């Protein structure tokens, strides 16, 4: 199995030597400008991008971040720079075309190794898959909760219908609310639904009684 490819966008030779040593187990591809990076990314998709900010030919790495994310939407990008203010670092980590990490130069080799390994494991396509799975679980939980509440409501309405059917008196809304441990308005909605479905007679809970009850 081929090692992951890391695209290094770095114009400083000494800094690149540090990357070569720290990331020796990966396949490294180096370019020195953002323009070259766009060409390289279009030819062959890397697994991780390490992006410097101040590059050759007066180019600035952050200015190429949106285009890189457009070309490589699922590829994690690590910005490594000593030339960024705190607000610039924060901006780079925000929005739909954001970087995943910002490392300050001089880069700690151990931090760099750990960051690249984490990016490969946790970010990119795997991150998208996890987001979809979480969304699916959320929808499934919502559906189960809705089903449970619906089942509880139908069971309660059946018991209410049976109780009211055995009595000639008007239903005591407060007593029913205490019995089923729900709010008064919930019992009122139950009665209205039972009347609407023809399971109770309208006179059991006349429409004008809503106003009298302040509901």
- What are the domain boundaries of the chain? 5-123, 142-213
Residue 106 backbone phi and psi in degrees, to 5? -70, 130
28 by DSSP, 3-state: which? strand
pLDDT, one tens digit per residue, over 49-88 is 999 888 888 898 888 888 998 888 888 999 888 777 676 7
* Domain 142-213 grouped into CATH 1.10.10: yes
Question: How far is the C-alpha of 44 from the C-alpha of 47, rounded, in Å?
Answer: 10
- Averaged pLDDT, 178-206: 85
In whole angstroms, give the CA distance from residue 86 to residue 92: 10
C-alpha span between 167 and 29 (Å, rounded): 84
- Report residue 75 as tokens: 């590829």
Across 126-131, average pLDDT? 57
Decide which of 120 and 206 is more confident: 120
- SS3 at position 24: coil
- 5-123 placed in CATH 3.30.360.10: no
pLDDT, tens digit, 9 for 90 and up, residues 77-97: 998 887 776 767 767 666 656
**pTM of the full structure:** 0.55
pLDDT at position 70 is 87
Residue that has been written with the tokens 């139908």 in this structure? 154
């Amino acid at each position: 199995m081929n090692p992951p490819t890391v695209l290094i966008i770095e114009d400083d030779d000494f800094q690149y030597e540090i990357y070569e040593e720290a990331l020796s187990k990966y396949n490294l591809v180096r370019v020195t400008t953002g323009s070259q990076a766009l060409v390289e990314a279009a030819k062959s998709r890397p697994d991780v991008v390490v992006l410097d900010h101040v590059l050759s030919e007066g180019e600035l790495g952050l200015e190429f971040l949106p285009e890189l994310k457009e070309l490589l939407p699922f590829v994690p990008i690590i910005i490594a720079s000593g030339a960024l203010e705190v607000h610039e670092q924060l901006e780079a980590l925000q929005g739909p075309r954001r970087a995943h990490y910002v490392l300050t130069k001089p880069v700690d080799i151990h931090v760099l190794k750990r960051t690249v390994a984490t990016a490969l494991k946790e970010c990119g396509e795997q991150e998208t898959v996890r987001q979809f799975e979480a969304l699916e679980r959320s929808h499934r939980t919502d559906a189960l909760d809705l089903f449970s509440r619906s089942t509880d409501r139908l069971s309660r309405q059946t018991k209410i219908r049976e109780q009211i059917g055995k009595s000639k008196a008007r239903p005591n809304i407060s007593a029913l609310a205490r019995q089923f441990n729900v709010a008064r308005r919930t019992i009122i909605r139950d009665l209205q639904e039972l009347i609407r479905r023809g399971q109770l007679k309208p006179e059991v809970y006349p429409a004008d009684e809503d106003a009298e009850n302040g509901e």
